[in-house]
Structure formats: C-alpha cells, structure tokens
C-alpha cells in the first residue's frame, strides 16, 4: 500500500470542450462541460490537489492546441496542473509552462525521442511525467492513434534508463469503459519501475482505487467515473484516507 495515495481528476479537452473518449477513440466522445475551467473549479472545490489536463487536439496534431484552456484553468485553481498532448519539442514545453502547467506529460517522445526526454528529466526532474500508453501489450503514440514496436516493459526499462521520476501508465482498452483497471499489468509495471507510477484507465469505483493503491501505484487518474457520478471525489478522498494504515476495506 502506498501512503499519501492521490486521486487525480482528468480533464480531456477536444475542440475547447471537456470530453471523455472511450478507449481513446476520437469518434466516441461525450461532452461533459462546455467550459473545462468549470470542471477544474469543481474538482478543486471537492479536494483535488492535482488535475490531469489532456489536450486531445494537441496529441493528434503533434503540438499544443488548447493552451488558452490551460490558461483559463490556471486562473481558477491553485491545484497542480499536469498537462500533456503534443509536447514533442522545446518550444511546446516552453509554451505549456508559460500557460501555467506545473507538470509536463510526454508520451510519444518516449517512443521517438528518448534522448530529448532524458534532457527534460535532467532539467525538470519530477515535473516530467512520461506517458506509457498501452494497447495489446504495445505502447501507442500520436494521441494513441499509432502503435509502436515498444512493449510495456520495454518502455519501463527505457524510462528507468533515462532517469524518469514519474510516469503515467494507461491501459487504453480500459480507458473510459468503467470496466475496472488492469491490475495485473499495473503490478508488472510497478514491479519493474524505478519511478512513481500513476495508474489510468477503467476506474469505476472507490474499490478500484483501493486495488490500484494496493498494487503499488502512487496515484490514479479518474475521468468518466467522476463525470458520470459513479465516484464522488470528496467521498473517495475521505474513504481512502480513512483506510491508510488500517487495512484496505472501503
């Protein structure tokens, strides 16, 4: 069990709106907030210390697109903002920082430009979050649209070698499905990693969050379960805090 386990709400932005995709499919999106800043304010009010912001347009186009949304969210919350989507060169990194990002999420670059990611890690340390996004055992990039030849454990080994401090592991097949996390894959990642692991994909209940914590993850991203009302953020934070050091039943 990991002490100080964190629940991180996700805000996925497509066309300037807060949406959720199913299994990373851009054609299967549901809009939950026309103004993503409203979602950020809500999750902050309910106790979120960190918010995970995904620029879906940026991930697909290879450059940040929704920086105005990042700025608007920065204006309404003091939470740590974890931003990704199209961060593939120094100009994109600097633009995200200027717009208010606290952490920088890079995924495709781990596949195609690991030397650059290593330099980022040397420069920003724990502010860099490497995305390991997997489908059928292989890591996907370019907004999850392109499969690579890199295996999950191959990506973990690469991240270990370049000094990654924090990484986000997503099972794409579970993302947005409310079918529960892939705990077996998560355990294998945690066992091999020399860094803190954030889990993502499939969370549907507080019990799922307990399982993720038990698997050794430092945090979990929660998206559709929050927007659909399956998980109440304030209640989930309180219940997980109550179980720290006192067994794992919720």
Asked if 165 contacts 195 with a C-beta cutoff of 8 angstroms, the reply is yes
133 tagged catalytic: yes
- Rounded to whole angstroms, how far apart are CA atoms 109 and 217? 23
Asked if 188 contacts 153 with a C-beta cutoff of 8 angstroms, the reply is yes
- Give the three-state DSSP class for 132: strand
- Rounded to whole angstroms, how far apart are CA atoms 195 and 172? 21
90 tagged catalytic: no
Cα torsion 66, 67, 72, 75: sign: positive
Q: Which of 181, 214, 223 is nearest to 199 (CA)?
A: 181
- Cβ-based neighbours of 178, under 8 Å, separated by 6 or more: 202, 203, 204, 224, 225, 228, 230
Single out the catalytic residue among 55, 133, 171, 208: 133
Single out the catalytic residue among 12, 55, 142, 208: 12
Asked if 227 contacts 13 with a C-beta cutoff of 8 angstroms, the reply is no
- Give the three-state DSSP class for 4: coil
User: Which active-site residues does the annotation give?
Assistant: 12, 133
């Amino acid at each position: 069990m990991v002490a100080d386990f964190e629940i991180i709400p996700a805000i996925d932005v497509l066309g300037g709106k807060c949406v959720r995709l199913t299994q990373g499919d851009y054609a299967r999106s549901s809009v939950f907030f026309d103004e993503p800043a409203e979602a950020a304010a809500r999750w902050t009010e309910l106790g979120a210390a960190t918010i995970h912001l995904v620029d879906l347009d940026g991930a697909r186009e290879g450059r940040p697109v929704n920086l105005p949304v990042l700025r608007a969210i920065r204006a309404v919350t003091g939470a740590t903002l974890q931003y990704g989507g199209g961060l593939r060169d120094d100009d994109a990194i600097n633009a995200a920082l200027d717009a208010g990002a606290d952490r920088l999420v890079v995924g495709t670059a781990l596949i195609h430009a690991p030397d650059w990611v290593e330099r980022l890690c040397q420069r920003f340390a724990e502010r860099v979050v490497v995305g390991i996004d997997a489908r059928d055992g292989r890591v996907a990039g370019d907004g999850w649209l392109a499969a690579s030849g890199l295996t999950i454990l191959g990506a973990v080994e690469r991240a270990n070698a370049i000094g990654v401090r924090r990484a986000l592991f997503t099972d794409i097949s579970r993302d947005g499905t409310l079918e529960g996390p892939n705990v077996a894959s998560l355990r294998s990642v945690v066992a091999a990693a020399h860094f803190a692991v954030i889990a993502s994909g499939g969370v549907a209940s507080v019990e799922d969050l307990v399982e993720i914590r038990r698997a050794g993850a430092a945090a979990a991203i929660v998206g559709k379960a929050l927007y659909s009302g399956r998980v109440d953020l304030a209640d989930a934070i309180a219940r997980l805090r109550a179980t720290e050091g006192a067994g794992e039943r919720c």
